[in-house]
Amino acid sequence: MEVSVMGSSQVNFGRNDLGCREAVNCSFTKNLVVNISSSLKNSKICVGQSVKLGGKCLSRFSLKASGCSQAEPVLSKNNRNPKQTDGVKLFVGLPLDAVSNTNTVNHARAIAAGLKALKLLGVDGIELPIWWGVVEKETMGKYNWTGYLALAEMIQKLGLKLHVSLCFHASEEAKIPLPEWVSRIGETDPSIFFKNGSGQSYKDCLSFAVTDVPVLDGKTPVEVYREFCESFKATFSPFMGTTITGISIGLGPEGELCYPSRHNPSKMNNHQGAGEFQCYDKYMLSSLTQCAESNGNPLWGLGGPHDAPGYDQPPMTSNFFKENGGSWETSYGDFFLSWYSEQLISHGSQLLSLASETFHDVPISICGKVPLVHSWYRTRSHPSELTSGFYNTANRDGYVEVVEMFAKHSCQIILPGMDLSDNHQPNESLSSPELVLSQITSSCRKHGVEILGQNSLVANAANGLEQIKKNLSGDKEMSLFTYQRMGADFFSPEHFPAFTQFVRNLNQPELDSDDQPMKEEIRVASNHLQMQAA
């Protein structure tokens, strides 16, 4: 799973050129609708969401913005942060399986029609996930970029910008595994993957303890990732800085900087549990042992906390996370949680460093994704954050070190969950996505790190569109927001009318009389799309 404190936070709408009407007529709109709808009948793909209607589109209003994606990026002194102007750019994520496991474009006709519709709506750009398991599938060092090049060319021809997500994890949802050669290594050395206290392995990404260990046929994962990035840079050089304006580097499970603490392979996760510590592969245990011995307490290095709860157990039922007098507040608890979070930060720093070094000479922004871990935030111990790797409690700000790491490498932070509000969280989970967001934002502002927003991957989050609008027009100062993600639900009767109203309500100025007919075109297009998608 899985999207700034510099620049303006205003959501600005303005009139576009009067000549835009020639670009969109009813005939073209109907033909485009038919193309999308007919493609969707033969596939499960659908057009994604945007937060902007452009003048060369079905409306006369556009969300003007800037940020890490600009038509003519301007590098700052540190070559990372593009020049800021007013507003927020809107991107839409392509489906996770836009390129298949065999390196072909899935549902190419539907994607082509969808991209045209997004351009018509006035979206600034597209986010494209690029999978390690697709590009470097069979042999280390042998890359095949065919499907992704085809999509980049398609996006370029439409004049859209492109943000690329380099994914070094697997995806069950998209049915894309890790490279075959990596999985073969994992069969002989399963400790390259995370392991919990019950001996269950998480095989969708490599353990953070092996990031700089030569476990991949004599190479470290950092070396393999660097070569992957260098191949990407060389292959996509014609797009760099013009079409491709941003790159996010995958930092862990679902691309996020965190441990897979909530990924229970044997049970369905629920909001009751806080997850489990993932520190039982031999490489993590070796690091823990060394740290404990150097600390003068070798017994602390035998494993993770013995009094921590299981995946689906309420965290307060065990002693470790107890509100008052829990082990998390002891000397041992501080030792373990410090070591656990340091492993996470060390891994993240190495990957951000390699990305920043690889792309230092091209005018693009470099980003990494940090999850919005909000369950149990209203407790003193913050158990879900602790198992995820963020040593954040009532006594300690665990995000400062993370934000400082991003600042050190002049990278931007992608924060998901911009559609989540406190009012719609289960009471029993003591959750607060709004407070987590506020805490991280405050730290980013202090250290000059820009935030790029995303919605969560929760379909139709209650009041989600209104919450996105609130965050975009508030003081979060984001330069870019990415709506995740294109899928089959966008044009459904449950979603599309609400989304259309959401766009219309985004602080639009009064319509001039000659703009009024455009409303009818939007209505006709919406009705056609809803009927075809039903």
DSSP output for 470-500: HHHHTTS--SEEEE----TTTTSTTTHHHHH
Kind of pairing between the strands at 193-195 and 201-206: antiparallel
Query: What is the spatial distance between Cα 381 and Cα 279, in angstroms, rounded to a whole number?
Result: 19
pLDDT in tens, 89-117: 889 899 999 999 999 999 899 899 889 87
330: which 2 tokens? 């002891």
Asked whether the predicted pLDDT for residue 120 surpasses 70, the reply is: yes
> Hey, where are the domains in the chain?
87-187+198-262+335-505
- What is the spatial distance between Cα 461 and Cα 15, in angstroms, rounded to a whole number? 31
Q: Distance of alpha carbon 351 from its chain centroid, rounded?
A: 16
Q: Tell me the angle at which helices 108-121 and 146-157 cross, rounded to the nearest 10 degrees.
A: 30
The alpha-carbon radius of gyration of the chain (Å, integer) is 23
Q: Which tokens in the block code for residue 188? A: 């002989």
pLDDT above 60 (res 65)? no
Looking at residue 433, what is its pLDDT? 96
Distance CA 497, CA 494 (A): 7
Percent with pLDDT over 70 in the chain: 73
Mean pLDDT on 393-407: 97
pLDDT band at 465 (very low <50, low <70, confident <90, very high): confident
Of the candidates 111, 71, 112, 74, the one whose C-alpha atom is nearest the C-alpha of residue 89 is: 71
Assign 76 to helix, strand or coil. Answer: coil
More confident residue, 135 or 461: 135
Q: Does residue 170 contact residue 176 with C-beta atoms inside 8 Å?
A: yes
Q: How many other CB atoms are there within 10 angstroms of residue 102's CB atom?
A: 11
Q: How confident is the model at residue 20 (pLDDT cuts 50, 70, 90)?
A: very low
Q: For 267-283, what is the mean pLDDT? A: 80
Mean pLDDT of 16-23: 32
**From start to end of 4-142, where are the E strands?**
12-15, 61-64, 89-93, 125-131
Residue 59 has pLDDT above 50, yes or no: no
Q: Residue 24: pLDDT band by 50, 70, 90 thresholds?
A: very low
Question: Six-digit token pair at 364?
Answer: 């693009």
Q: Which of 533, 457, 521 is nearest to 489 (CA)?
A: 533
* 170, 300, 301, 314 from 329: Cα distances, Å: 35, 15, 18, 18
Euclidean distance between CA atoms 278 and 304, whole angstroms: 8
- Closest to 191 in 3D by CA, of 179, 203, 180: 203
Query: Which of the residue ranges 109-113, 121-125, 215-219, 513-517 would you say has the lowest mean pLDDT?
Result: 513-517
Arithmetic mean of pLDDT, 432-440: 96
**Residue 466 CB burial class (10 angstroms; 0-12, 13-18, ≥19):** middle
Beta-strand relationship, 201-206 and 161-167: unpaired
Question: What crossing angle do the helices spanning 433-447 and 400-408 adopt, rounded to 10°?
Answer: 40
Residue 46 clears pLDDT 50, i.e. is over it: no
Tokens coding 10? 């205003």
Q: How confident is the model at residue 72 (pLDDT cuts 50, 70, 90)?
A: very low
Of 228, 197, 225, 229, the C-alpha closest to 211 is 225
Token pair listed for 15: 């009139």
| Residues contacting 302, CB < 8 A, separation 6+ | 289, 292
Element (H, E) at 368: strand 365-369
CB 179 within 8 A of CB 142: no
pLDDT at 146 exceeding the cut of 80: yes
Lowest mean pLDDT among 311-325, 337-351, 384-398, 515-529: 515-529
Give Dmax (Cα) for the chain: 78
Q: 128 near 162, Cβ under 8 Å? A: yes
Is the Cβ–Cβ distance between 297 and 290 less than 8 Å?
no
Looking at residue 415, the DSSP 8-state letter turns out to be E
Residues in contact with 28: Cβ distance below 8 Å, sequence separation at least 6, in sequence order: none
Closest C-alpha among 254, 248, 180 to residue 216? 180
**Hey, what's the torsion of the CAs at 208, 226, 409, 286, to 10 degrees?**
20
Query: From the centroid of its chain, how far is CA 493?
Result: 27
With tokens 């969280």, the residue in question is 425
Reading the block at residue 254, the tokens are 């679902």
- The HSE-up count of residue 249 (CA atoms within 13 Å, CB side) is 30
Looking at domain 87-187+198-262+335-505, its CATH architecture is Alpha-Beta Barrel (3.20)
Q: What is the mean pLDDT of the chain?
A: 80
Q: Report in angstroms the alpha-carbon separations of 397 from 133, 260, 321, 493.
A: 36, 21, 17, 43
Q: What is the tens place of the pLDDT at every residue in 341-395?
A: 999 999 999 999 999 999 999 999 999 999 999 999 999 999 999 999 999 999 9
| 279 closest CA partner among 212, 207, 358 | 207
**Rounded Cα gap, residues 430 and 385, in angstroms:** 13
